[in-house]
Amino acid sequence: MIKLNLIAFYILTIFSSTAFAHTLPSPEKLEDLINNRPSSIKVYEPHMSKAMHPIEVEYVGFPAEVVLSKVFGPAWGSVDGDYEFRALDGYASRVSPSLIKKYHPYLVFQRKDGRAFKVENVHQHQKDISLGPYYLVWDNAKHKELLQEGSYGWPYQINEIVISHTIPEALVPNKKDKDAFIKEIKLTQKYCLTCHQLNGLGGSKYPNDLSESAKKMGESEFIEWVTSPDKVKENSTMPAINKRLPEKERHEIALEIYHYLMAF
């Protein structure tokens, strides 16, 4: 069985090596493939925790580095780009190889206590969300600075990993100077392009073109929407820009993203 899986994997790798996209196999097949037993990691579950009310969950899975090194090869850590973790619901989260090497996240597939592999997303008013097939989790119990990030970088329902250029040309407005927009591009990728699109790039959870949508709003309307969507629309499933950051910083991020989108 193990041999067959390996052969199938190598055939798949040969055929897909130019695409840089890999669909993840089931946990049993992945275990054979990476020749590594699953282990557990205890985290503060950022989708369910509130700042004053942390909730601990222990998950079972594999170190992401071991999976990436098997899937993308031993040079996985020096690729020119980010790893984009793509989810069944169209969400796409970018993570740089350096962050993975620094914090050693896990790709998990079940809870240690045997309870359903689901979360309640308190910040997006959604209950009973399935986390499988894979969920990227970070050791925010050990690395306290990760708590501030909330659930950014914790994509669930992951089924595919893709290598994607860090700053794609399509995200530079109207052939302007790329260097002048790097900060804004990174902010927009992190906070918005996980769900939305810009010039055809980004997630497909809500695949409208952000620049077109933003141009229909005025500056203050836009800022109110992205800093507190649930004040504008009751039970909106769009998350506010990281509420763990100070209000002033959230406002500045919103403004920078707005001006960037207007430059298209």
With CB under 6 A as the contact rule, which of the stretches 80-88, 134-142, 147-155, 193-201 interacts with ligand HEC?
193-201
Q: How far is the CB of 15 from ligand HEC (least distance, A)?
A: 32
What ranges in the chain are assigned the alpha helix state H? 2-16, 27-34, 64-72, 97-103, 182-191, 210-215, 219-227, 229-232, 247-262
Shorter beta-carbon distance to ligand HEC: residue 34 or 238: 238
* Residue 239 within binding range of ligand HEC, rule CB under 6 A: yes
* Residue 205 within binding range of ligand HEC, rule CB under 6 A: yes
Shorter beta-carbon distance to ligand HEC: residue 140 or 151: 151
Q: How many angstroms separate the CA atoms of 202 and 171, rounded?
A: 10
The pair of three-digit structure tokens given for residue 63, joined into one six-digit string: 């170190």
Site for ligand HEC in 152-191 (CB under 6 A): 191
Which residues, in sequence order, are CB contacts of 95 under 8 Å at separation 6+? 82, 83, 84, 85, 105, 136, 153
Candidate residues 20, 237, 255, 256; the one interacting with ligand HEC per rule CB under 6 A: 237
* Residue 208 within binding range of ligand HEC, rule CB under 6 A: yes
* Residue 210 within binding range of ligand HEC, rule CB under 6 A: yes
* Residue 60 within binding range of ligand HEC, rule CB under 6 A: no
Site for ligand HEC in 82-111 (CB under 6 A): none
Shorter beta-carbon distance to ligand HEC: residue 105 or 229: 229
Which residues, in sequence order, are CB contacts of 131 under 8 Å at separation 6+? 108, 117, 118, 119, 156, 157
- The number of residues making up the chain comes to 264
Shorter beta-carbon distance to ligand HEC: residue 32 or 84: 84
Torsion angles phi and psi, residue 204, rounded to 5: -125, 30
* Residue 213 within binding range of ligand HEC, rule CB under 6 A: yes
First to last CA, the chain: 53
With CB under 6 A as the contact rule, which of the stretches 40-48, 62-70, 175-183, 228-236 interacts with ligand HEC?
228-236
Candidate residues 195, 202, 211, 260; the one interacting with ligand HEC per rule CB under 6 A: 195
| CA 49 to chain centroid | 18
Cβ contact 228:241 at 8 Å: no
Binding site for ligand HEC (CB under 6 A): 191-192, 194-196, 205-206, 208, 210, 213-214, 226, 229, 233, 236-239, 241, 257
